[in-house]
Structure 1
């Protein structure tokens, strides 16, 4: 048989204790049964003796009244008591205070004999004891051994003193039937008790094993669960601390980010304002370039007019140059004619010389002027080209200014949209900050809860160890089983 575990032993021991109580209760019941049976049996002789005493008292009264002589009254009384048999074998006897047999219906040979020396098989002087009880108490019970059909049998007699004649009137009942009933009852109770013990022990054993095995499994599960809970609570505590730390750092980062976003929003708003100003300036630049293009257009026309005037002036200068050449020829002819004229022509020769000099200077001035006009025409043509180029550049500038204006408008709109987006981001960041604060608080609460969970897991381990002790397993065995499970 396998060795019982501690819990099984305790359950079986509890059953044994209950059975022991049951056995004691049965013993008490047997004792009470026997006692009640004895009382029931002994009460019958008492009532018969009292009835018999009443009969004797009746004859004693008749004797006192003088109706009967004492001897006659006593004989009549003895005859009546002799005939008062009951239960087939039971009878009434009479002795006196001197332990003499007065009347014995079954053994008449004892009548008139001194029974003071009579001993039962156990050495009891029962007739002497009858007399002593009656002398002392007036009545009582005496237990002794008496012959029953050749067999010594325990018997109990009730005796009572009839004071008028100092008779000890008694009757008894054999105890063998009582003893048989008690013995039979004891045997039945013993058999029932043994059966109950066997059944109860078997049930207790089966019940103990049916309880201890699941309890052992539950203990293993609880131990494993306690270890897992402890490990999980430590992990949760560590993670909660890390989360709280991360949440704090995240809150600081969010605060800095919020400040940066606010600064960025301010810069974006400033950019939007600058973009609006740039748009205004671009519009002004566009207007100025438009006016510049128009001025350059007018300049082009003016330069063309100047070139045209220069061309006409060049024609005039050419005419002047031709006139100067003709004048020079005329002056030469005049000088020739003056030389031919002699003295009279000297004054005319001087005039002709002056005219020739004037014509020469006029020709030279005309040439210089012509050169200057040519240069002016060249510069005018260059100016026209430059003006055309400037017009083209201004046109390009105007187109660029328009593009820039569009881009600036787009930048302004984007800046405003970005500013609104940053405002929404600031709101979102504020919400995230609140959530982070709540996460930090929750992380701290989780850390506290994990500490409480750790404490509870420790209490669970303690309870598991107590259960291990209850079922008779060592702490190491419980730990090993928990580890295997």
Structure 2
């Protein structure tokens, strides 16, 4: 098939159809011929059995004794001689020798030996009769025999059927001409040939116009269209395609239009694919950077949220500590109040001690005066004792001891005075210190009161800061959640941009197989 041209391929179905039509017509005529021959055979078989039944009838009469054997055979032959059917149907009777026993058309042949008798074709048909009659049901024999209806008579094909009646060794034969069937068959064949020729001529005309219409619709040899289609399928859009200038409806023209449109589309796709690839690459890179920055921002927000949680805890702890400090400052203020009262009491006590010290100085002055007077008295006593001599020695000793005691008392009084003066001086200093301490405590009390107020303000501010930081922490948590979602969206966008980049490269690879008329290809 590949070696046939387009026109040969167009004519080939017609030739095959005509050959098939011719075969169907001839086979139909042949089947009709065979059917009519089979009908003729069935007719001959039925007629031969009718003759056999006639012979059997007389054989039964012979068996019954109504007729002798000779009478029965004679009457049977006579009856068969008079049997006619159709235009030219009759019976003949021979024996297995073969010898003619009865022939209604040629009575002169009765009693003659038929062994060497042949038909016009040289066939020993009577010998064939004897041989065909041997099977139990008889048989058919073909031969030629002059047709009485023809002038002059002419030997034509005839079909004979023979059946044997064994008791009398008779072979009953009848035949029918089949030239009419053969003539009808040949007429059918001739008519089929004429009809075939007419149909073939009409179909040839139709095929000629159809082929012209198909060639005009295609616009050229389909092989060229197939090669161009293959080239387009392989991506070659620059193969030249030549059609007639007036051709605007053929397949070749449509293929040219398709190729040109496809070439334009490929050119636009080539340019668009490059732009899409560059934009996709930029988007992918930008999304990757954005994803990285968003992840960094999310990490920073997480760290800030953690720091804010810690700061919130610290501020909350500071607020609690500030409240505790405020309470402690209040307690310290109360303690300072009590300390101030105690300092005032200490100042009063120190004043009392100073007064008592002054009194003690006065008492010491009295003691010193007594010691001085005692010393004078002892000195006078010693003078008097010296004047007394021996009688006054004991008194002098006592006076000396008293003098020593007076001196010691004076010395001790001086020391006590010094100690008391020092104590008074120190008590004065202490009183001044106590007064200064009282003032300091008063100042401390005022400072503690101010600190308490400040600490209370700090505690209140810390509470407000803790509440604000909790709100800020909640806002940062929401921002962190949104940032995480944005990071996920950015990652999805980055993945989509990456997929777009890959698809743009796939698109470039897809259109890279096309080569347009200028020979350009899309770079991979």
Deviations 1:180-218 (A, max 9, x none): 111111111111222222222332333233223313331
Aligned length: 284
d(CA) in 2 for partners of 1:449, 1:255: 22
Coordinate RMSD, CA, aligned: 3.6
Residue 318 (structure 1) aligns with: none
Deviation at 1:235, TM superposition (A): 4.2
Deviation at 1:135, TM superposition (A): 2.4
Counterparts of 1:86-235 in structure 2, within 5 Å, are 86-136=85-135, 138-149=137-148, 150-216=153-219, 217-226=250-259, 228-230=261-263, 232-235=265-268
d(CA) in 2 for partners of 1:79, 1:453: 104
Deviations 1:121-151 (A, max 9, x none): 1110111110011125551111111011321
Q: Cα–Cα, structure 1 residues 454 and 6, in superposed 2: closer, same or farther, change >3 Å?
A: farther
SS state of the match for residue 158, structure 1? strand
Residue 57 (structure 2) aligns with: 58
Residue 23 (structure 1) aligns with: 22
When the two structures are superposed, what TM-score results if normalisation uses the length of structure 1? 0.52
Deviations 1:293-335 (A, max 9, x none): xxxxxxxxxxxxxxxxxxxxxxxxxxxxxxxxxxxxxxxxxxx
Matched, 1:236 2:269: yes
Residue 387 (structure 1) aligns with: none
CA contact (8 A) 1:8 1:209 kept: no
Q: Cα–Cα, structure 1 residues 211 and 71, in superposed 2: closer, same or farther, change >3 Å?
A: same
CA contact (8 A) 2:162 2:174 kept: yes
CA contact (8 A) 1:241 1:443 kept: no
Deviation at 1:18, TM superposition (A): 2.0
Q: Cα–Cα, structure 1 residues 205 and 104, in superposed 2: closer, same or farther, change >3 Å?
A: same
CA contact (8 A) 1:247 1:436 kept: no
d(CA) in 2 for partners of 1:189, 1:251: 81
Structure 2: 5+ residue stretches without partners: 220-249, 294-491, 518-524
Deviation at 1:451, TM superposition (A): 4.7
Structure 1: 5+ residue stretches without partners: 260-433, 462-478, 480-485
Q: Give the stretch that moved more between structures: 235-244 or 85-94.
A: 235-244
When the two structures are superposed, what TM-score results if normalisation uses the length of structure 2? 0.48
Q: Give the stretch that moved more between structures: 109-118 or 248-257.
A: 248-257
SS state of the match for residue 135, structure 1? coil
CA contact (8 A) 2:62 2:68 kept: yes
Q: Cα–Cα, structure 1 residues 182 and 192, in superposed 2: closer, same or farther, change >3 Å?
A: same
Deviations 1:206-250 (A, max 9, x none): 323322331333144225523642453254124311342155458
SS state of the match for residue 154, structure 1? strand
Deviation at 1:99, TM superposition (A): 1.3
CA contact (8 A) 1:244 1:440 kept: no
Q: Cα–Cα, structure 1 residues 166 and 255, in superposed 2: closer, same or farther, change >3 Å?
A: closer
- Greater length-normalized contact order (CA 8 Å, ≥ 6 residues apart): 1
**Greater percentage in helix:** 1
Counterparts of 1:446-465 in structure 2, within 5 Å, are 448-449=506-507, 451-452=509-510
Residue 42 (structure 1) aligns with: 41
SS state of the match for residue 133, structure 2? helix
